[in-house]
């Protein structure tokens, strides 16, 4: 059996879903299980709808729902027919009726928009898209069954970023999927789950990848395929720099490091369930299914390039924290990470370099509300409007060469090294947000002048890969200033 996960751009239109159906049909002999994201930008629109409801904006909330309803019914009518279409339309009508009830309860009856309600609202995207895809497969003559992921993926109760209860998930999946009739394709939505009490949860943005990996581990799949809109894992984000190469293969550790450092092709936790059972992950392009993609496996061939790829995290505020006393920096770093999670401001990047801790938060985060202070024991420098770049590759292997070459390549740009040369897999650094794109280009020229053809392949181009305005915000700069916070002892007491 294999798992085939299709992201939002792979189900955004009737044409995209037709390609999905053709791709699944080509793999029927491998007994696929299909996991899908919400159609296009549906999750964003649902969260926009929730905000209209919270503000009491009945007209705008209703307008948002009407547009989403028209979109889903139009796609449904183009991909499904006959009895499958009738059943699908009935289900979609029920979903949008439930959403309008939520709108009325919030606006007219004062129901609070809690994290739990946000999860309930956001879950409709994957619930509806998985029903549409199941109907499309059935209408194309491919027997299919829709499974409600909330009955299979159990999580804790941390709404909007729940953690799966892996062994319970695996038990549920093994009780259901292997016993489906031969030739029947199971379809379920990614990103969503539920608590043991049946309350809907979500796994955080990009969580459909994690769902696919959990399903793969639960059924001991031969392969987990992530179908997206690029040819595989690339040497850099094509929205930042389009001159990159495709990686033929990556190790689990390299892929996890890239995902955790900002590579958007994979959810950061995707690799974990696959590692336990040594299941290959394959990144493939749903628009060009003939491409081999990138294979993520336990071990890869040696590479003459020390750096495999460059990941980016834009639009950050980085706190550079140095204890003045003898406290253990590792314990302090752990306390800071836990504190950020408690206050709903998860760290985008957290590392310890000798006795210095670097804590990066989204620039829009109200970082001043964090109860960190220093009370004279800790010195903090603040780097605003910054980006973190991370160079990843097993060839880094703890040497100083990559750091020295990076600094030489970026000699015209103010750079702060975050990871020490003791890191065996990655080197990270801070650059001004306005210099992120130029920095990536310079680093790419430095480390990919020549490429190992066993590991890298030419990239045929990326559709819809224009640099984001986030990356080139005018007037942004990296600023280092001193700040004072409340005493750190307050953190450990909360």
Q: Using the 3D structure, point to which of 169, 203, 228 is the last residue of a domain.
A: 228
pLDDT of residue 351: 76
Residue 241 counted as domain residue: no
Displacement of CA 484 from its chain's centroid (Å): 33
CA distances to 359, 374, 492 from 377, rounded to whole Å, are: 17, 5, 15
**Of 26-30, 321-325, 349-353, 476-480, where does mean pLDDT reach its minimum?**
476-480
Kindly state the tokens that stand for 179: 């016993």
pLDDT of residue 223: 96
147 has a pLDDT exceeding 80? yes
The answer to whether 185 touches 144, Cβ cutoff 8 Å, is yes
pLDDT of residue 175: 95
What are 116-125's pLDDT values in tens digits? 999 999 999 9
Average pLDDT, the chain: 86
pLDDT of residue 397: 75
**Of 42-56, 135-149, 273-287, 346-360, where does mean pLDDT reach its minimum?**
346-360
Q: Using the 3D structure, point to which of 200, 228, 256 is the last residue of a domain.
A: 228
324 with 464, same domain: the answer is: yes
Percent of the chain with pLDDT over 70: 88
421 has a pLDDT exceeding 60? no
Displacement of CA 398 from its chain's centroid (Å): 28
Residue 292 counted as domain residue: no
Phi-psi sector, 10: left (phi>0), alpha (psi -120 to 50), beta? alpha
pLDDT of residue 340: 76
Banded model confidence at residue 366, pLDDT cuts 50, 70, 90: low
Q: Using the 3D structure, point to which of 228, 248, 273 is the last residue of a domain.
A: 228
Residue 287 counted as domain residue: no
d(CA 486, CA 250): 44
Residue 183 counted as domain residue: yes
Cross-strand pairs, 2? 32, 223
pLDDT of residue 468: 36
What are 216-252's pLDDT values in tens digits? 999 999 999 999 988 999 999 888 988 899 999 999 9
pLDDT of residue 357: 80
357 with 480, same domain: the answer is: yes
332 has a pLDDT exceeding 90? no
470 has a pLDDT exceeding 50? no
The answer to whether 257 touches 308, Cβ cutoff 8 Å, is no
175 with 323, same domain: the answer is: no
422 has a pLDDT exceeding 60? no
336 with 221, same domain: the answer is: no
Banded model confidence at residue 474, pLDDT cuts 50, 70, 90: very low
317 with 200, same domain: the answer is: no
318 with 222, same domain: the answer is: no
224 with 325, same domain: the answer is: no
CATH number of the domain residue 373 falls in = 3.30.2130.10
Kindly state the tokens that stand for 463: 């559709």
349 with 473, same domain: the answer is: yes
103 has a pLDDT exceeding 90? yes
d(CA 414, CA 432): 7
Q: What is the pTM of this model?
A: 0.84
21 with 149, same domain: the answer is: yes
CATH number of the domain residue 183 falls in = 3.40.1160.10
Domain count, the chain: 2
The answer to whether 324 touches 310, Cβ cutoff 8 Å, is no
Beta strand 294-297 with 281-285 is: antiparallel
Residue 413 counted as domain residue: yes
d(CA 106, CA 94): 19
476 has a pLDDT exceeding 70? no
Three-class secondary structure of residue 161 per DSSP:
coil
HEC letters along 285-332: ECCCCCCCCEEEECCCCCCCCCCCEEEEEEEEEEEEEEECCCCCHHHH
The answer to whether 306 touches 395, Cβ cutoff 8 Å, is yes
What average pLDDT does this structure show over 51-66? 96
**Of 150-159, 162-171, 274-283, 350-359, where does mean pLDDT reach its minimum?**
350-359
d(CA 20, CA 225): 13
pLDDT of residue 416: 87
Residue 260 counted as domain residue: no
d(CA 88, CA 92): 6
What are 372-401's pLDDT values in tens digits? 654 446 677 778 889 999 999 988 876 788
**Of 124-128, 286-290, 474-478, where does mean pLDDT reach its minimum?**
474-478
Residue 299 counted as domain residue: no
The answer to whether 478 touches 257, Cβ cutoff 8 Å, is no
Residue 104 counted as domain residue: yes
Banded model confidence at residue 334, pLDDT cuts 50, 70, 90: confident
325 with 222, same domain: the answer is: no
What is the extent of the structural domain holding 369?
309-491
d(CA 461, CA 458): 9
209 with 317, same domain: the answer is: no
pLDDT of residue 271: 81
């Amino acid at each position: 059996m294999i798992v085939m996960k299709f992201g939002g751009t792979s189900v955004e239109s009737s044409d995209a879903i037709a390609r999905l159906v053709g791709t699944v049909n080509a793999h029927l002999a491998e007994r696929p299980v299909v996991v899908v994201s919400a159609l296009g930008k549906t999750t964003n629109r649902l969260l926009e709808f929730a905000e209209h409801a919270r503000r009491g904006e009945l007209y705008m909330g209703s307008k948002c729902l009407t547009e989403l309803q028209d979109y889903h019914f139009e796609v449904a009518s183009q991909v499904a027919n006959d009895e499958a279409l009738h059943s699908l339309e009935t289900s979609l009508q029920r979903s949008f009726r439930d959403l309008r009830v939520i709108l009325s309860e919030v606006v007219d009856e004062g129901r609070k928009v809690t994290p739990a309600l946000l999860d309930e609202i956001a879950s409709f995207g994957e619930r509806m898209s998985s029903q549409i895809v199941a109907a499309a497969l059935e209408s194309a003559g491919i027997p299919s069954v829709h499974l409600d992921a909330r009955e299979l993926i159990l999580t804790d109760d941390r709404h909007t970023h729940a953690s799966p209860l892996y062994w319970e998930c695996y038990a549920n999946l093994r009780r259901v999927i292997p016993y489906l009739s031969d030739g029947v394709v199971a379809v379920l939505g990614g990103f969503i789950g539920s608590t043991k009490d049946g309350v809907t949860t979500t796994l955080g943005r990009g969580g459909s990848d994690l769902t696919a990996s959990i399903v793969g581990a639960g059924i001991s799949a031969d392969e987990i395929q992530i179908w997206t809109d690029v040819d595989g894992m690339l040497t850099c984000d094509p929205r930042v720099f389009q001159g990159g190469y495709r990686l033929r293969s990556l190790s689990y550790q390299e892929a996890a490091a890239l995902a955790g450092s900002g590579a958007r092709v994979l959810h950061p936790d995707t690799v974990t369930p696959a590692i336990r059972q040594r299941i290959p992950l394959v990144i493939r392009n749903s628009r060009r299914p003939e491409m081999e993609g990138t294979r993520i496996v336990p071990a890869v061939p040696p590479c003459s390039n020390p750096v495999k790829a460059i990941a980016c995290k834009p639009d950050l505020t980085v706190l550079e924290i140095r204890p003045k006393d003898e406290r253990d920096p590792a314990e302090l770093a752990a306390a800071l990470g836990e504190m950020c999670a408690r206050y709903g401001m998860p760290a985008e990047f957290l590392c310890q370099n000798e006795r210095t801790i670097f804590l990066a938060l989204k620039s829009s985060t109200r970082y001043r509300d964090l109860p960190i202070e220093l009370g004279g024991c800790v010195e903090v420098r603040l780097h605003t409007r910054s980006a973190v770049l991370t160079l990843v590759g097993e060839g880094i292997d703890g040497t100083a060469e990559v750091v020295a070459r990076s600094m030489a390549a970026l000699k015209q740009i103010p750079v702060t090294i975050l990871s020490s040369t003791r890191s065996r897999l990655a080197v990270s650094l801070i650059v001004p947000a306005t210099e992120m794109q130029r920095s990536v280009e310079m680093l790419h020229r430095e480390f990919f002048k020549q490429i190992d053809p066993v590991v890298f392949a030419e990239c045929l181009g990326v559709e819809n890969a224009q640099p984001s305005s986030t990356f080139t915000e005018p007037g942004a700069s990296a600023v280092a200033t001193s700040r004072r916070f409340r005493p750190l002892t307050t953190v450990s007491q909360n």
